[in-house]
Structure 1
């Protein structure tokens, strides 16, 4: 094969295999992805809503405050909704208006202060933890209460961090669960979870969809949005994008 023909094949494959792309802070949306948060209030209110679970205690419009990026001066959104003060998760969490089954997502976050706490929920069920200073299975980058990351890739407070996630929803046949949800996650460009099954929803009914269903084990076939948690801390978000996928018969690994 000539060099020209080989280059054409590489370009074709790059266009048909969008999962194989850059990861880490600053990664731009891949082909077919939707940017859902650029750090501006306009995009926040356009693409997000409160999750009105049993503990919901805020009111529309969303009260997550606009802030200025301490690094480059650009716009960011803080998770420090007043209703979430004291770690009251579920009181003011926000979720994308669009709901998903399989997807790839990119989320950039900045923990301002030591002990900063938030979280990224896949399908408004499964939490990928954001918690400064904790390296347990309830800590930073853990699939909460189930799996610690295989590497410590956290950049620390006062710096930007990025999760790159491929998620495959649980599978059902005739309403019966046949396959657990699975995920592969890169943290600041380092693979920390590889096609890891997720057992259940943790945290009870205030945590998300199915949290109160059979102690979080009663997963249903209901699509859910990407959710960000408010726990009374200044955790900033920007550059969040999502691409819907179809992973029937496929691994989440990328």
Structure 2
């Protein structure tokens, strides 16, 4: 075989290898996220909408997750053998502050569902941005900590922050279509239609999760297709196959603004 031809082919192989290696390095560098700010967006800014009433009685076929009496249908996320310890008073329960606190989640696991819940931040709330009534409704809990798919809870009444982190956002994934947040001290409601993700036998993604959300009766998430579980830093991706999951409420360590909840019910779909 011609020696010049062999040398030419070897050079081409080296060039192709160099291109592939350089491309892989570029992708690795691009995907490496070290700061949460890299996934925060500030536009578009959802328009402010005057909300309707928030209270919604449970349908006859609903499962009542909180009836105003106790948290018997909830447990601590970090130890599911322990009952939820958030205090209940006056038909409302409130995020527990201080030692012994933590996220709580339902005893029961759910696949597809319709969920209603009402939440409130105190009238005398302080702080700004993400430090103002921060919490979260995890539409499917994936275990300890903040693992799962988060619908953000935040006081977004005249409170600027990154828009994919304001109330009604699918945190760090989808900006809400509007901002109907009520004033601090008034109740807000979420009505959620959740279609859980499905996975193949080899645990690869079959169909992504989808969610529709009404916030105080206003459509803010319209059949949004989630890119994966919530990520505080970096891009979301489906890395863990799972089936029906509990619903979780997050405590965010914001002592100035303990969030309260009432009237929580769910319908399995």
TM-score normalised to the size of structure 1? 0.70
Once the two structures are superposed, residues 92-115 of structure 1 have per-residue CA deviations (whole angstroms, 9 ceiling, x without a partner) of 100000001100000100011241
TM-superposed CA distance for 1:79, in Å, is 1.1
Match for residue 94 of structure 2? 78
Spell out the pairing of 1:114-125 with structure 2 (5 A cutoff): 114=126, 115-124=132-141, 125=148
Q: Over aligned residue pairs, what C-alpha RMSD do you find? A: 2.5
Gaps of 5+ in 2: 1-51, 127-131, 142-147
* Aligned pair partner of 1:154 in 151, 165, 181: 181
Distance 2:179 2:53 in 1: 14
SS at match of 2:228: coil
Distance 1:118 1:225 in 2: 17
Are positions 1:64 and 2:86 aligned together? yes
* Aligned pair partner of 2:110 in 77, 94, 100: 100
Matched residue count? 196
Gaps of 5+ in 1: 1-22, 68-73, 85-90, 205-210, 246-254
Distance 2:57 2:162 in 1: 28
Distance 2:170 2:242 in 1: 20
Once the two structures are superposed, residues 103-139 of structure 1 have per-residue CA deviations (whole angstroms, 9 ceiling, x without a partner) of 0000100011241111100011210001223351012
Distance 1:142 1:33 in 2: 25
Distance 2:53 2:264 in 1: 12
TM-superposed CA distance for 1:203, in Å, is 4.2
Does the 8 A contact of 2:198 with 2:243 survive in 1?
Answer: no
Question: Greater CA radius of gyration, 1 or 2?
Answer: 2
Are positions 1:218 and 2:228 aligned together? no
Are positions 1:51 and 2:77 aligned together? yes
Are positions 1:244 and 2:265 aligned together? no
SS at match of 1:137: helix
TM-score normalised to the size of structure 2? 0.67
